[in-house]
Structure 1
Amino acid sequence: MSLDNVLRQIAARIPVIDGARVGIDGVDGAGKTVFADRLAQAMSRPVVRVSADDFHNVRAIRHRRGRQSPEGFWLDSYDHDRLRAHVLETFPRYRPKAHDLATDAVVDTPELVAPPNAVLVVDGLFLHRDELRHFWHLSVFLDVPFTVSVPRMATRDGTNPDPEHVSVRRYVEGQRLYFRSCAPQLRATVLVDNTDFDAPRLLAG
């Protein structure tokens, strides 16, 4: 199935309500940002795009369990309190960013107001955590094996392409902890095999 067909099918399922919220989840390297951007382009309604990557915790919190800790990656990477308070609980009012990852600075962006009938599309890791899952009117999990996603990360970030290498253990094992704790593949409204960017497959939903 072509990407355009998959996007059209998902877009058609988004509820026609004020303040609809859509989450695009998946492992590092699954293609969440591109998929969310393309989904936004496929919609006829106004769209507000927000990324969970703009809601990281500061480095001191992210690494408090150790720089290589999988538990730290899973539990401490993101400031979910601010994501909820600044975006998910208030939309169509929202603040699109709370942290600058490059400088590790907390930022306080002015509040914006989405256009009438706008859809919020959020991409990011761990969006089916217990404290986030109930916010989504529709959610997507991009299912990609680590044997594919980790080499994609290596191309993007210069990391090691081997999913079993010690240098990427924090990320791979942290995401496996997420799978065991939250089963996002089952919690998502729609499950998509995104192994091939250009030919994703609807697996469920």
Structure 2
Amino acid sequence: MHQSPTFKSSIRLYGLTRRNSDGQYQEVSCTTTFNGISAVRAFVSRLDAELAAQNSDLEAQPLSQFFYPGPLAEQQSGLNLHICLGFAAQNDQLLIQNKQLVPMGWFTYIDVRNWGRDYYLNWGDELPRKLGNVYGLLKLPDYNTFLNELDVAHPKEMFWHKTEALGAMSTRVAESSNWDQISLFDPVNCCWCFGSTAGSYQTHIN
């Protein structure tokens, strides 16, 4: 049984969660900012969330289906998010840290004073512009269309895309945090695309 939805957004976001013995979502996966503040992991891509859950006891789900304001109480009516798109790479190889891919993205703080079931978060133009810059960097101008299709894809189709992405993946163990590329999976050509981060990203600390 799902908990009451409490997170609605103008851009669909996915999180990683664990279930308890009753089958209910128990917690939402977080990372920490560079200042040690807890931040909810929020993936723009359903595929990225599925890939990030590999080799763990986590599962990917839309934040709106299981998100509850637990972290909100701890942060005094505010919410820290790490908006994720793509994964860290170096020399055209995706990096592995603690047996998991390293999501790339931006930390952001949301001032939420009247949190409730009907609370709606409108990202305006800033986040879509950031995402569009990434698509352009990797020469994937139509990538947002692919993400929208994944939002309504059948689980079998989702599994197929995930299998294709894993099969086309070349990885290396991250020896430091000095990675300099971001990577997204291109579903049309069935390959990973790479581009320079140029210092514009922040990573999760797994």
The two structures have a TM-score, normalised by structure 1, of 0.29
Q: Pick the structure with more strand per residue.
A: 2
* TM-score normalised by the chain length of structure 2: 0.29
Identify, as 1 or 2, the structure richer in helix. 1
